[in-house]
A and B are shown apart, each in its own frame.
With several copies, the nearest count.
Chain A
Amino acid sequence: MAMKKFINKVEDVEEEMTEGLAKAYPDQLEKLDYGTIICRKNKKANDKVALVSGGGSGHEPAHAGFVGEGMLDAAVAGTVYTSPTPDAILEGIHAVKTDAGVLLVVKNYTGDVMNFELAEEMANDEGIKTVHVVSNDDVAVENSSFTVGRRGVAGTLFIHKCAGAKAEAGGTLEEVQAVAQKVIDNVRSMGAAIKPCTVPAAGKPGFELAEDEMEVGIGIHGEPGVHREKIKTANETADILLDKILADIDYTGHEVALMVNGSGATPLMELYIINNHVQDVLKSKGIKVYRTFVGNYMTSIDMAGFSLSLLRLDDELKTLLDAKADTPAWKEFGC
């Protein structure tokens, strides 16, 4: 049976996709010959910190769509849903490293953490000042000292944005890392899905959902969530996620950035409907939304689902969030 995807050969998906992105913006982006790595074409000044992120493919536009001025310098893509390997990450570091140092932004998955840490070790061995942060914003997964902790999901993009702006503004490696950590400490996310995703190499959906079921707390790789239940309305579903997020951090009286993120196959129509409700709920709770981002930022191939992310802001983060970012997929409207 033919898979219902516009692809060519399964084993060429990652290569062709990164090529296709680079070809869309030939003056701004380049794809390295080694691996599926996208870099800024205009390299950063040597006295500014470079940012490298990455992870498995399948989350487009993350992460390569956020390469550009004010965000990432390089994005290293693994095969679909699989962390890139240390040699590829090191290659990305090599391509954009500066004297000011390199910050690696890693999502908290065992594979990602190990591969990035190995690359970091090799980079440091070569004398490249390299540090990393680990994003873990998904409140669906309990954080306990006996487990690997929460997963990194869509909130990671706020790290790219704020730490990227800090680096562009000339922050030191320590300062840029501190901003990244501040975002991590203040951002929480959770998602739900109604239709599964199909990894091209697998050829069939990674999980199954009955016609009237949804998975609450779904991971961005289609990992099972917190529980399964009957489909609810958009508003009720948003409430479930929001309740979990708000229980984890008290946002009351704070200004926040809100991201209503689509999983890849969710129409903007639905994301706007969700946003309509979330804005009302936050308002009623005394949480002021400083900026809203609605769209596909951290997807799960062709999964139909969405996640909500809330970032608690202070003056520094507000300034960094509003700073210019010129990348394929980050859109600041009206800043």
Chain B
Amino acid sequence: MTDQKKVLEIVEKIIAKIEEEKEYLTELDQPIGDSDHGINMARGFQEVEKKMPSLDGKDIGSILKTVGMTLMSKVGGASGPLYGSAFMKAGLKMAGKTEMDINDFLTCLDTAIEAIQKLGKAQVGEATMIDAMVPADEAMKKAVESGADDKAVLEAGSKAAWAGAEHTKDLVATKGRASYVGERGLGHQDPGATSFSYILEVISENV
């Protein structure tokens, strides 16, 4: 599906996308949170940008670990440790590898979800990034089973992630800062679910 070089290319594209959507992600965080999700994510990924030269030629595990550690130490807030540990733990699974197939990718995503749930304790339906991640994961597994090619699998994942993000509008948040507004959060899309959807979208468009 992708080699070490391609992974770096995709990371560059994610960095660019997050920067592009920085304001939008921040706006989403306003009615239900503290108006900083885009700022946080962009600060982290800009820092990843600085690390890119040092990642040339490194294995995929090292790349993911560096991305994770950088996010962990630069994003802060709730999304920092969540995305940080997600990438770090996924990196462990890819240690030493320079190629990644669709099953590796799904393993990474499973690991990421597990890491996020271990830290954040959110289940599906609590209006967090989990509500984009889990449906995406399920949709991709189904697509793989039905024999779809990598591109189609990722596209199914991206579509499911966006649908999940959209669906957070109908959910009352019970985790994270959004839980403070209770019912007033209805109708508002979760910023973390949205940032995850952008990341998966970039991956699906660039594999």
Chains A and B touch each other in the complex, with CB atoms below 8 Å apart: yes
Using CB atoms and an 8 Å cutoff, list the residues of chain A in contact with chain B.
Answer: 56, 78-88, 109-111, 114-115, 118, 141-142, 146-148, 151, 199, 201-202, 206-207, 219, 221-224
Given contacts A202-B26, A202-B36, 8 further A-B contacts (CB under 8 A): A85-B81, A110-B120, A115-B81, A148-B176, A151-B180, A206-B35, A207-B30, A224-B181
A81 touches B72 (CB 8 A): no
Q: Which of B164-181 contact A (CB under 8 A)?
A: 174-177, 179-181
B73 touches A82 (CB 8 A): no
B175 touches A110 (CB 8 A): yes
Nearest chain B CB to A300 CB, angstrom units = 10
Query: B61-76 vs A: 1/0 string, CB under 8 Å?
Result: 0000000000011111
A82 to B30, CA, bound (A): 14
A24 to B74, CA, bound (A): 27
Nearest chain A CB to B7 CB, angstrom units = 24
| Among candidates B35, B180, B184, residue contacting A199 with C-beta atoms closer than 8 Å | B35
| B159 close to A (CB within 8 Å) | no
Interface of B: prevailing SS:
helix
B177 touches A85 (CB 8 A): no
A86 touches B73 (CB 8 A): yes
B82 touches A114 (CB 8 A): yes
A86 touches B36 (CB 8 A): no
| Among candidates A147, A199, A202, A221, residue contacting B179 with C-beta atoms closer than 8 Å | A147
A202 to B24, CA, bound (A): 12
In the complex, the chain A residue whose C-beta lies closest to that of B26 is A202
Nearest chain A CB to B75 CB, angstrom units = 7
| Among candidates B36, B119, B175, residue contacting A81 with C-beta atoms closer than 8 Å | B36
Task: Contacts A111-B81, A114-B82, A151-B180 given; indicate if A83 touches B33 (C-beta within 8 A).
Answer: no
Nearest chain A CB to B176 CB, angstrom units = 5
Closest 4 CB pairs of A and B: A111-B77, A111-B78, A221-B34, A82-B76
A/B interface sample: 7 pairs, CB < 8 A:
A56-B77, A118-B81, A151-B180, A202-B36, A206-B35, A223-B34, A223-B181
B40 touches A82 (CB 8 A): yes
A142 to B36, CA, bound (A): 24
Nearest chain B CB to A60 CB, angstrom units = 17
A118 to B180, CA, bound (A): 23
A110 to B122, CA, bound (A): 11
A110 to B79, CA, bound (A): 9
A88 to B32, CA, bound (A): 27
Nearest chain A CB to B173 CB, angstrom units = 8
| B43 close to A (CB within 8 Å) | yes
B81 touches A81 (CB 8 A): no
| B92 close to A (CB within 8 Å) | no
A156 to B74, CA, bound (A): 25
| B187 close to A (CB within 8 Å) | no
Which of B31, B73, B76, B182 is the most central at the interface, judged by chain A CB atoms within 10 Å of its CB?
B76
A224 touches B36 (CB 8 A): no
Nearest chain B CB to A204 CB, angstrom units = 9
A78 to B44, CA, bound (A): 13
In the complex, the chain A residue whose C-beta lies closest to that of B185 is A224
| B80 close to A (CB within 8 Å) | yes
Residues on B with beta carbons closer than 8 Å to the beta carbon of A80: 36
Nearest chain A CB to B25 CB, angstrom units = 12
Query: B27-56 vs A: 1/0 string, CB under 8 Å?
Result: 000111111100110010000000000000
B34 touches A88 (CB 8 A): no
Q: Which of B8-36 contact A (CB under 8 A)?
A: 26, 30-36
Residues on A with beta carbons closer than 8 Å to the beta carbon of B74: 85
A110 touches B39 (CB 8 A): no
Residues on B with beta carbons closer than 8 Å to the beta carbon of A206: 30, 34-35
